[in-house]
Amino acid sequence: MDGERRGRNGSKPSKPGSFPDTRFLANPLMGDVVSDWSPLHDAAIHGRLLTLRSLINQGWPVNLITVDRVSPLHEACLGGHPACASILLKHGAQVNTMTVDSHTPLFNACVSGSQDCVKLLLQHGASPHCGTNLVSPIHEAAKRGHMECIDSLVAHGGNIDYNIIHLGTPLYVACQNQQIACAKKLLESGASVNQGKGLDSPLHAVARMSSGELANLLMDFGADTQAKNAEGKCPVEVVPPESPLIQIFLEREGPPSLMQLCRLRIRKCFGIQQHHKINGLVIPERLKRFLLHL
């Protein structure tokens, strides 16, 4: 062993003057430089701003990508370092570049849960969606319970009901991962309570996991307790035997009250970001709290 620190692929970190090395390949279509793990990537993921600034000043290209098409901006966002992301963007980092796994810097920011990185990327023109049907920033934020990231994505035009065939909707993903606060945020923002994964509704997912709190939340927002999945089963029919959730379904049988129907209808009129719009209404506080499920 020569004692030198090696990159993710086991190779030695290269130096600015060594671009002719076979580890660096030119992409004539993208104008990128391809390498293995570099000091630029290392500085970005660990949030070493001064080192990153120094490397850029030495001539390191900010759009340097690995063989998996991972850029320093990807790593800065994965590490949750907005200051590093900012300097990379300032020097021309590509904001929507995708890895071989279709991950964008915005997707990585939603993995880390850094709202500052999410906001920064969106301000620099990042697309709220990855442009593929494989992954999605809003689904990743929902899966991990990063409500602030969802707020920013929706505010910049993210589709709150974006449905990916193998994942379903963000609400379905939040319910699958029992992210209660995140599911509530999605519903408050206007997510469709009955759209899930194919014919499987969010309430089906919750019923299988026997989550009473999530079941009550979904039903408060108008979930259809009689919706049938691909197997022809209603949510109550997929609840595990002897689960206390069965009693919750029984207690909520029958049509909703007139008050509940009115609340659901009014909320539907507001579309997305319902919570913010209702808060802005000049109406009695008691009525406002009723509409907000408080």
Residue 228 and residue 82: Cα distance in Å, rounded?
Answer: 45
Answer for the pair 238, 229: CB distance below 8 angstroms, yes or no. Answer: yes
Over residues 285-290, the mean pLDDT reads 76
On the question of pLDDT at 215 being above 90, the answer is yes
pLDDT value of position 167: 94
| Least trusted range by pLDDT, from 57-61, 81-85, 153-157 | 153-157
pLDDT for position 28:
31
CATH number for position 221: 1.25.40.20
Give per-residue burial for 252-285: e unless 16+ CB within 10 Å, then b. eeeeeeeeeeebeeebeeeebbbbeebeeeeeee
- Domain co-membership, 19 together with 83: yes
pLDDT of residue 278: 72
171 & 92 share domain: no
Res 117: pLDDT? 98
Q: Are residue 94 and residue 57 in the same domain, yes or no? A: yes
- Counting the structural domains of the chain, the total is 3
The verdict on 103 and 125 lying in the same domain is yes
What angle is formed at CA 247 by the lines to CA 242 and CA 250, rounded to 5 degrees? Answer: 130
Q: Do 86 and 17 share a domain, yes or no?
A: yes
H-helix segments, 58-178: 72-78, 82-90, 105-112, 115-123, 137-144, 147-155, 170-176
pLDDT at position 275:
63
Between 246 and 259, residue with greater pLDDT: 246
206's enclosing H/E stretch is: helix 202-209
Say what the pLDDT of residue 152 is.
94
Per-residue pLDDT for 191 more than 50?
yes
Instruction: List the single range of 49-63, 155-169, 251-265 with lowest mean pLDDT.
Output: 251-265
274 — pLDDT class (breaks 50, 70, 90):
low
3-state DSSP assignment of residue 32: strand
Of 139, 79, 144, nearest in space to 105 by CA: 79
CA distances from 109 to 27, 188, 286 (A): 26, 23, 38
* Segment 64-77 mean pLDDT: 95
Residue 155 lies in a domain: no
pLDDT of residue 183: 96
Amino acid at 127: S
Contact partners, residue 64, CB within 8 Å, separation at least 6: 32, 33, 34, 35, 38, 40, 41, 71, 72
pLDDT tens digits, one per residue of 161-172? 999 999 999 999
Distance of CA 202 to the CA centre of its chain: 17
Which residue type sits at 286?
A: R
Backbone angles phi, psi at 292, to 5 degrees: -90, 5
Q: Which domain holds residue 236?
A: 160-254
Looking at the fold, whether 183 and 290 belong to one and the same domain comes out as no
Give the pTM: 0.80
Same domain, 56 and 175: no
Please determine, for residue 293, whether its predicted confidence score (pLDDT) is greater than 80: no
Spell out the residues 6+ positions from residue 110 whose beta carbon is closer than 8 angstroms to its own: 118, 137, 138, 140, 141, 144, 146, 149, 153
Instruction: Answer yes or no: is pLDDT of 202 > 90.
Output: yes
pLDDT at position 17: 42
Residue partners of 122: CB distance under 8 A and separation at least 6: 106, 128, 152, 153, 156
pLDDT value for 13: 43
